[in-house]
Structure 1
Amino acid sequence: MAEIRSQFGTRSSRVGSYSFILTAVVLAILITVNFALSFLPDSYAQADLTANQLYSISSQSKVMLSSLEDDITIYWIVAAGQEDEYVEKLLHNYEDYSSKVKVEKKDPDLNPDFTNAYTDEEIYNNSVIVECGDRYRYISYEEMYEVSSTDYYSMYSSADEFSGEKLITSAISYCTTEELPVVHVLEGHGEAELSTSFADAIETDNLETESLSLLNGESVPEDVECILINAPSTDISEEEKDMLIDFLEGGGRVLILSGTNTEDELPNLKAVAEYYGISVLEGVVVEESTDHYIFNMPVILMPEMGSSDITDPLINDNYHVIMPVAKALDVSEPDGDVTVTPLLTSSEDSFLKADGYNIETYEKEDGDTQGPLTLAALATKDIDDGNQMQLVWIASSVLLDEAYNQYSSDANEDFVLNALEMMCEKDDSVSVRSKSLTNEYLTVSTGSASLIKVVTIGVIPAIYLIVGIGVVVRRKRR
């Protein structure tokens, strides 16, 4: 016994005892801290290390949530054990960030009739209903994932993007907005139908659309504030031209997409723009600067963007508009009380091919107009009663084509949406992008692509070769 007691009294045993006690104390501290952290909101206790911040809400959503005055209830329709990881984390983030947001879980097996008051659509697990007072919006789980690829043999579809935050933030904004702005879409002249993607983007942006015909009227209806004219194939009448000018003179806003297409010359529609210092030049813009076109196609332009309320959000986020087959605009001679701002311009190496669709070469010829050339412009004029006339002309009929919009990572749609938001005076707009689950398109000009090829195929291998030869020569000399 004395021997055992003497062993515990040695220096090594005392050091061992101290180490054991210290380890126990550290473990106790870690357990206590971990237990305390479990009571903190996920946004404070966990870090989102995913490349696209899939488990976080964006700064735009946070700004909107910080300004909430009314209580928001988000009903999460999901059966036990069927919770989607992304949706669950996203909803917790909304609830953690704002005390005005409350998430309630509704099991469709236990509450089969709950959704009947909100929608008659088929209900999928992880669908969401956002409600504030008398306003609500149903978001189907299928809408949260954007699917664009399907394996032909297995028929298995894979989701490319997660749109949960974009849809929920839009729904909250919708539910807390009493009256939504309306964009009136002109019809009756063979206008191109809005793409499904752009129509969805308008709805998500909480803008409503209504059809507008001026064929049988004497003036633009008084409740119309913003008109969208999308790629008409035939001209407006002389009477419609006068109606649009009167509308603009009263502080109206008009956005026109019209460029090189199969349409006729559209003299009356062009006269509306000419009245405010924007003249449409016939032909097709061709780029010679490889930094300003893509896909080795000098008519698929990647124009420069001038600073404006429309373009600044894109410039700040380093996005590029892709503009296929465009005409040019002359904005050199506006009236004294009209201000014309170029929005998109080609490079100084570009030129306007006078032959238009009949061009046989991308080389500059006699009669072609040298750049830089304006491709989209904004005309404004202050009206006596404090209103402002706004006219935007975008000189491409296919800017909103879904393929080109996808190549631009939605920058084309955002460009047009920014213009509509400005025209509708939509100051509370919240633009949240879908989050990629795979890869996003990288918009690279032809010149940059060529440089990358030279560096990766030529320069880097050459460096390795030179270094290798040097090493071999040095070893032989030894």
Structure 2
Amino acid sequence: MAFGKKKEKIPAEQGVPFFKTRKFKYGSISTGLTIVFVAVVIIINVIFSLLTDTYSWKLDMTSYNLYSISASTRQIVNSLTRDQKIELTVMYNEEEYPEQFRETVKRFANLSDNVSYTFVDPDVNPAALTAYGAEYSIQEGAIVVKNGDRVRVIAFNDMYESNSSTGSVTYKIEDCLASAVLYVTKEEIPLVYFITGHGEEGYDSFMNLIANNGADVEEVKLSQLSQFDPLARVMVICGPMMDYSETEIRQLQEFLANDYNYERDIFFFSNPEAPALPNLDGFLADWGFQLENNIVLESDNYSAATYATSSDSVPLYLIPSYTEEEVSGVKITADYLSVVPNARSITLLFESSGITETTALMTTSEESYAKSSSNINAGYKKADGDPQGPFTVAAVATRYKYANNVAVESHLFVAGSVDMLGANYMNYNGNSNFLYRVYQMMADENESEIVGASKEARSTSMTLDTATVRNASIVFIAVIPAIFLIIGLVVYIRRRYL
């Protein structure tokens, strides 16, 4: 051994097998933890993806709530009894069905264990289109709703409406599904007549409202109706421009009397532009109503609606108050305000007469006034001699008898405005809600939420100026990549000297 010679420093891991080195040890642990972490993330992602697809665990971030289920639909589905099993069969390939429709079907079915769904591809199984019988015309894209032996088919084109002028699309699939469930679960499907032949018009929205809530609707002419269908419970007369014959008036009377069994009802909506209708006026008077030859206007800004493009109220667009009285044990009101345009006032000839009682349902404010139909074109400003409000613009009469100590009733509802049935006004929740409450009272149906959850979606564009585009480009092209590059360098340097 040579003294005075400095010993060379030998690296601590020189000659040690690589798999026993500290670098391999720490690297293996790091790699193993990474593999385990990635595997756990993948497994969790797969599990939640399956659960999301099965139970629609997705947040609806759309501005129009296109994928959300309304409270009224939830109430309908939650009211299903144990023996009511709803089967939804979508006649289309699941992957190719429009996403908004596909997601709505799944969310609808997930509301209850009593609802199930399946997709059937007609290209693979063409017999499915005729499996429910020749009476059903089933096309690709349709949804078949079935409960026991009762079937309702929803055509694909009925699930949406497009407006080429505004570029909007109104999705009605939830409405259609809820309506179909009501239809296939009712013990007895009521029939509602919509009378034609006298210039009646403007009732499409009201007819759709009734049909969407589980009733059959039929347009008929009284002159061609030899007898009433036993299931016919309600008749609707919308703004006739010609008088009814004496024979037709007798038909109205016989319909309501129902061989003195009652339990039938009529809606009557007046058209202020109609000429004198003496036969119909006599029919209404027998039930306690007189339609005045006037137009009601409103000077109270809080009781009149405004144009969408103006803050000024329009005196013809009435926002009446609802009655606090009950009719047949039911308080008829709505959760929202109604708009009643171009309305005639209704005089109640009596409150009670024999077996008939009348009740005002909608009244205007004390600031309202009326002008005769002949003077309305001269202007809306109140003049001396104009009758002062409040006025009744909607009312109902009840005629009853007792059978086995139970009251059986027929009703006649009268409104001074047929225009309140227009699509623009029925879109106000108050109009639809109020009229459906009247219908429920008349048809003696259980009180439930109204079906009406159509969702409108509009295509929108985003406008960006040059500065915004430049700044966004700098952030996404330079700043964010630079941040990740710096983080990567720091991690690399730290690991380099482990």
Q: TM-score range by the shorter chain?
A: 0.7 to 0.9
Match of 1:233 among 205, 227, 241: 241
SS in 2 for 1:286: strand
Match of 2:367 among 339, 345, 349: 349
The question of whether the paired residues in 1 share the 8 Å contact of 2:396 and 2:412 is answered with yes
Query: Counterparts in 2 of 1:310-389, with a 5 A limit?
Result: 312=333, 314-315=334-335, 318=336, 320-331=337-348, 333-335=350-352, 338-356=356-374, 358-385=376-403, 386-389=407-410
Is 1:82 paired with 2:91? Answer: no
CA RMSD of aligned residues (A): 4.0
Is 1:131 paired with 2:141? Answer: no
Q: Cα 1:28–1:215, aligned 2, differ >3 Å: closer, same or farther? A: closer
Following superposition, the deviation at residue 404 of structure 1 comes to 4.0
Supply the distance in 1 between the matched residues of 2:363 and 2:270 (Cα, whole angstroms).
Answer: 16
SS in 1 for 2:67: coil
Is 1:426 paired with 2:435? Answer: no
Is 1:93 paired with 2:112? Answer: no
Following superposition, the deviation at residue 142 of structure 1 comes to 2.0
Task: Structure 2 unaligned segments of length 5 or more: list them.
Answer: 1-10, 17-24, 308-312, 460-498
Following superposition, the deviation at residue 26 of structure 1 comes to 7.3
Following superposition, the deviation at residue 243 of structure 1 comes to 5.5
Task: Structure 1 unaligned segments of length 5 or more: list them.
Answer: 6-13, 152-157, 440-478
User: Match for residue 57 of structure 1?
Assistant: 69
Q: Cα 1:382–1:437, aligned 2, differ >3 Å: closer, same or farther? A: same
Supply the distance in 2 between the matched residues of 1:367 and 1:267 (Cα, whole angstroms).
Answer: 26
User: Match for residue 146 of structure 1?
Assistant: 161
Residues 262-291 of structure 1, C-alpha deviations (whole Å, 9 max, x = no match): 231x23323333334333222111111223
Shifted more, 227-236 versus 293-302: the winner is 293-302
Following superposition, the deviation at residue 360 of structure 1 comes to 0.6
Supply the distance in 2 between the matched residues of 1:138 and 1:432 (Cα, whole angstroms).
Answer: 18
SS in 1 for 2:394: strand
Is 1:174 paired with 2:192? Answer: no
Following superposition, the deviation at residue 167 of structure 1 comes to 0.4
Supply the distance in 1 between the matched residues of 2:100 and 2:358 (Cα, whole angstroms).
Answer: 46
SS in 2 for 1:399: helix
SS in 2 for 1:387: strand
Query: Counterparts in 2 of 1:103-252, with a 5 A limit?
Result: 103-116=117-130, 117=133, 123-124=139-140, 126-150=141-165, 158-188=167-197, 190-193=198-201, 195-211=203-219, 224-238=232-246, 240-241=248-249, 244-245=252-253, 247-248=256-257, 250-252=262-264
User: Match for residue 479 of structure 2?
Assistant: none
The question of whether the paired residues in 2 share the 8 Å contact of 1:302 and 1:322 is answered with yes
Identity among equivalent pairs (%): 26
Match of 2:418 among 384, 397, 420: 397
Q: Cα 1:159–1:115, aligned 2, differ >3 Å: closer, same or farther? A: farther
Match of 1:262 among 269, 274, 277: 274
Shifted more, 163-172 versus 244-253: the winner is 244-253
The question of whether the paired residues in 1 share the 8 Å contact of 2:191 and 2:216 is answered with yes
Shifted more, 390-399 versus 271-280: the winner is 271-280
Following superposition, the deviation at residue 428 of structure 1 comes to 7.0
The question of whether the paired residues in 2 share the 8 Å contact of 1:378 and 1:392 is answered with yes
Q: Cα 1:394–1:369, aligned 2, differ >3 Å: closer, same or farther? A: same
Supply the distance in 2 between the matched residues of 1:344 and 1:271 (Cα, whole angstroms).
Answer: 22
Residues 420-441 of structure 1, C-alpha deviations (whole Å, 9 max, x = no match): 33322232765132112139xx
Supply the distance in 2 between the matched residues of 1:165 and 1:221 (Cα, whole angstroms).
Answer: 31
User: Match for residue 471 of structure 1?
Assistant: none
Is 1:279 paired with 2:294? Answer: no
Supply the distance in 1 between the matched residues of 2:57 and 2:423 (Cα, whole angstroms).
Answer: 40
The question of whether the paired residues in 1 share the 8 Å contact of 2:393 and 2:416 is answered with yes
Following superposition, the deviation at residue 25 of structure 1 comes to 8.1
Residues 201-222 of structure 1, C-alpha deviations (whole Å, 9 max, x = no match): 3322222234555559999787
Supply the distance in 2 between the matched residues of 1:186 and 1:341 (Cα, whole angstroms).
Answer: 24
Supply the distance in 2 between the matched residues of 1:17 and 1:329 (Cα, whole angstroms).
Answer: 89
Following superposition, the deviation at residue 195 of structure 1 comes to 4.0
Supply the distance in 2 between the matched residues of 1:58 and 1:422 (Cα, whole angstroms).
Answer: 23
CA radius of gyration, larger in: 2
User: Match for residue 59 of structure 2?
Assistant: 47
Following superposition, the deviation at residue 375 of structure 1 comes to 0.7
Q: Cα 1:2–1:356, aligned 2, differ >3 Å: closer, same or farther? A: farther
Query: Counterparts in 2 of 1:11-50, with a 5 A limit?
Result: 33-40=44-51, 43=55, 45-50=57-62
Q: Cα 1:244–1:357, aligned 2, differ >3 Å: closer, same or farther? A: farther
Matched pairs, number: 421
Q: Cα 1:80–1:396, aligned 2, differ >3 Å: closer, same or farther? A: closer
Supply the distance in 1 between the matched residues of 2:65 and 2:178 (Cα, whole angstroms).
Answer: 16
User: Match for residue 455 of structure 2?
Assistant: 435
User: Match for residue 10 of structure 1?
Assistant: none
Residues 293-334 of structure 1, C-alpha deviations (whole Å, 9 max, x = no match): 33353223233333566853x32xx3x322221100123731
Residues 10-44 of structure 1, C-alpha deviations (whole Å, 9 max, x = no match): xxxx9999999998887776555544434435547
Following superposition, the deviation at residue 80 of structure 1 comes to 6.1
User: Match for residue 442 of structure 1?
Assistant: none
SS in 2 for 1:271: helix
The question of whether the paired residues in 2 share the 8 Å contact of 1:198 and 1:400 is answered with yes
Supply the distance in 1 between the matched residues of 2:152 and 2:134 (Cα, whole angstroms).
Answer: 8
Supply the distance in 1 between the matched residues of 2:431 and 2:270 (Cα, whole angstroms).
Answer: 15
What TM-score results when the alignment is normalised by the length of structure 2? Answer: 0.71
The question of whether the paired residues in 2 share the 8 Å contact of 1:260 and 1:356 is answered with no
Shifted more, 395-404 versus 411-420: the winner is 411-420
User: Match for residue 11 of structure 1?
Assistant: none
Q: Cα 1:136–1:221, aligned 2, differ >3 Å: closer, same or farther? A: closer
SS in 1 for 2:104: helix
SS in 2 for 1:228: strand
Q: Cα 1:214–1:258, aligned 2, differ >3 Å: closer, same or farther? A: same
Residues 362-388 of structure 1, C-alpha deviations (whole Å, 9 max, x = no match): 122233110111111122244212212
